Structure 1
Amino acid sequence: MEPDPNDLRDPYKPDAEEGELPDLECAICFCQFNNIFNTPKVLECKHTFCLECLARMNVKSAQPNTIQCPLCRAYTPLPDLGLPKLANDSTVLSYLPSAMQHVYSIRFNRNKGKLQVKRVPSSAPVLTHTINQSLDVVNPAGEERASARERSVLNTVLRSPLCKAFLMSAVAIMMVIIIIAIIILKVGPT
């Protein structure tokens, strides 16, 4: 079926009346939304992105009092108290686990490029000791953390016996192929 050219719906946002689930990850960083630094913030154009990505965009922007949507390029003026006070996407939050229903109070210092947890709510789950209290959105420390996480996962996978057996088999096969290639080159065509 051909798409209707007169259909003005946003292809990036599912229709609520169709009963589809909202996208539970940020369209910029592809991280799952949460109630801390990846809180789903909705812009005036109704597109939703995580607070961290919006903060990164705002730090680099020449217009500190507005944020431009990366999908439709519409501008959203920022609230007087700053970026963290943008409206949360309550639909997305409602699909998060119950422990993530309460959003943490976050402060954004644009000059320093930092997001900070202002206070941990008393209703927060027991896991609050694992929450990072601040996030540098200017320096790629978050990227270093992600790459460290990826290295950790890679190391775990590489240590598994099945993976070691596969790697050893692959190396043995490559060695056989190289030896055959050397023999063929030495002997030459007959």
Structure 2
Amino acid sequence: MDPHLKDPYAPDVPGVPDVPDSQTEDDSYLPDLECAVCFSQFNNVFNTPKMLECKHTFCLECLARMNVKSMQPESIQCPLCRAYTHLPAMGLPKLATDPKVLSYLPDAMQRVYSIRFSRDRGKLQVKRVPSSMPPCAAEVRHSMDLGMPAEADDPDRRSERQSICTRLARMPLCRALFMASGVLIMVSLTIGIVIILSNKK
């Protein structure tokens, strides 16, 4: 059947033109203005709309929380389609900001704040406020705690930290401090035993 011919069985709806399927998905749709994970409204600070390689958009805060709890810190898995996005060299905040969503935000939110993401400390932090920001920008929170990274509870990481302590103990200065504290403990115990024995007499 010729695609340009009208379907004889299609109902006639007055005032609605026949649109070919190829034109139904155009740029005129209204994007979702809230994050599909936390349902918070997008903004230009911690809830900045960040777009993954799969073209799904989520707020920076949710992506940061996912990254903190992930065992693969160099990538993000999309919560919708499960596709992986490799993170930029400059970090998570450098993911592409969704321009379509940003264009629907109020004029005061058209410029995105410069955000720093510290995965080791589990923190998002405002690095620099754009000079064009209105006076109300002073009310913006400047940091957000996201929790500690997943590796903090990992037994392998604990053993790694213990091995670091062992290596520190082997260093000359640290070894001297450990020995001095050991000698002090032995002297204290000896004095304590002598006092207890003298009181019994």
Query: TM-score under structure 2 normalisation?
Result: 0.61
User: How far apart, CA to CA, are the structure 1 residues paired with 2:145 and 2:133?
Assistant: 23
After TM superposition, the structure 1 = structure 2 runs for residues 21-170 of structure 1, keeping only pairs within 5 Å, are 21-138=30-147
* Distance change >3 Å, CA 101–CA 18, structure 1 → 2: closer
TM superposition shift of 1:19: 2.1
Structure 2 unaligned spans of 5+: 1-9, 11-23, 149-201
Change in Cα spacing, 1:121 to 1:96, as seen in structure 2 (3 Å) is same
Runs of 4+ in 1 over 2 A off after TM superposition: none
Q: Deviations over 1:35-94 (max 9, x none)?
A: 000000000000000000000000000000000000000000000010000000000000
Q: In structure 2, how many angstroms separate the alpha carbons of the residues matched to 1:122 and 1:16?
A: 37
1:173 aligned partner: none
C-alpha distance in structure 2 between counterparts of 1:107 and 1:40, whole Å: 15
Partner-residue secondary structure (3-state), 2:26: helix
Per-residue deviation, residues 90-130 of structure 1 (Å, max 9, x unmatched): 00000000000000000000000100000111101110111
- Counterpart position of 2:155: none
CA distance in 1, matches of 2:76, 2:36: 15
> Structure 1 residues 16 and 111 mapped into 2: Cα distance closer, same or farther (>3 Å)?
farther
**Partner SS, residue 20 of structure 1:** coil
Please say which structure displays the higher CA radius of gyration: 2
CA distance in 1, matches of 2:101, 2:130: 20
Query: Which residues of structure 1 form unaligned runs of 5+?
Result: 2-14, 140-190
Alpha-carbon separation, structure 1, partners of 2:143 and 2:25 = 34
How many residue pairs end up in the alignment?
A: 126
| Partner Cα separation in structure 2 for residue 47 and residue 75 of structure 1 | 11
